[in-house]
Amino acid sequence: MQDAALMNYLDRRFLSLEKRLEKCNQDILDYVEEFRDFSKMALSRLAGLNTHKAEVKSEVENLLARVEQAQRDIDYFGSVRDSNTCIGVHEDLVKQQLSEAAEEKKKLKSMLNASCDQMLAGIKSLKIVKKTEDKHGSWMKDPGKKHAKIYLLNGSVNNVILEFANIMTFMESNHTLKARRVPLPFPWEGTGHIIYQGFLFYHRYGSLNEIIKFNIQRRNITDQMLLPGAGRIPVYQLSPSTKIDLAIDEQGLWAIHAEPETEGNIVITKINHKTMAVEHTWDTSCNSKGAEAAFMICNTLYVVYNFPSGGTSRIRCVYDILETVNTHEIPVLHFPKLQGSHCTIHYNPKEKQLFAWRDGSQIIYKIHTRQKV
């Protein structure tokens, strides 16, 4: 609807411009004809000035000045007339850009599941599942698998995954004794890793922007990629150890990061989890300053903010890549009161819950969604 309205507006503007140019061309022709008559008259008068030079000297100078001014006017109108071609090129360029934008949006809708029309409406409750006392870490289920396994990744730099048979085993006090240890060939950096369809996707420690795809069962690297523009600054100011935050929603794998060129605004990139290829990138209006975490739900980014000293976390920036949500009308969403700050929040699209790590506690948030307007 917006594209059609813009096209109608441009058509009206171009039609008005064409009418004005036609009138301008006719005025030029009239002016040229008048100038020719004036020149003939001036030349006729100048022919008989030899006997009256002193008397008419000032008049001649005035006439010459007027002739020069007239010639400059004609040159100007000629240049305006020639610019008609440029205006036509500009019109074609605008139409081409609108056409390309419409085609790009069509491709995005076909690439993503446009029927995914739910958005976050609120965070209903929380459950503290366990307290490991490690300040930084990440824990999750695999939303791409049917099993009930829990995965724990302690620390912002480590190379061992702990795998638990279910959440009850994970909640036991001596949980590490019953965990399956899965060593990685390279350690991770930050807490932005994610597990999906049996693979761990993580930012390799010591690299600028290398993302590794690791097969948990076979214990080997199956693929890797470099994420353009990422890794130079933290994605969240309040979680400085995380340069790249990976996320899963109903559409699959995403990367959330920030770039100096965007003045700290967050960038989101859709990644094909099978081929590890970048499918599309969006520059958002959400800034990393004051942010502690973020997550994706149904093509929409939700950024969580807090105070440097810790406090009540709240979502106050939302970015919908398909522009189906008027993000400026969404109220600030608060998490249930719990002092401290998050280092990780991951959305599980299978269970419709948030798995979070807050000051050494592993938490599940139940959420409430509604249909996008």
Rounded alpha-carbon distances, angstroms, from residue 172 to 120, 167, 176, 353:
32, 9, 9, 22
| Residue 152 tokens, joined | 């724990």
User: CB–CB of 287/317 below 8 Å?
Assistant: yes
Report the pLDDT averaged over residues 271-288: 96
Report the pLDDT averaged over residues 233-262: 96
Show Cβ contacts of residue 245 under 8 Å, excluding neighbours closer than 6 positions.
Answer: 190, 192, 235, 236, 255, 256, 257, 293, 294
Q: Which helix (H) or strand (E) holds 100?
A: helix 84-111
Report the pLDDT averaged over residues 261-287: 95
Q: Tell me: the pLDDT tens digits for 194-208? A: 999 999 999 999 999
Most confidently modeled range among 65-74, 87-96, 126-135: 126-135
User: CB–CB of 304/315 below 8 Å?
Assistant: yes
Helix axes 53-82, 84-111, angle to 10 degrees: 20
At residue 80 the predicted structure's pLDDT band, cuts being 50, 70 and 90, is low
Report the pLDDT averaged over residues 311-316: 92
Instruction: Report which of 346, 298, 350, 364 is spatially closest to residue 145, judged by C-alpha positions.
Output: 350
Most confidently modeled range among 61-75, 94-108, 202-216, 317-331: 202-216
Of the listed ranges 89-103, 182-196, 208-222, 241-255, the one predicted with least confidence: 89-103
pLDDT at 86: 53
What pTM was computed for the model? 0.72
Residue linked to tokens 């620390």: 155
Of the listed ranges 70-79, 128-137, 354-363, the one predicted with least confidence: 70-79
- Longest Cα–Cα distance in the chain: 123
Rounded alpha-carbon distances, angstroms, from residue 370 to 8, 113, 297, 339:
34, 17, 12, 27
Residue 101 clears pLDDT 60, i.e. is over it: no
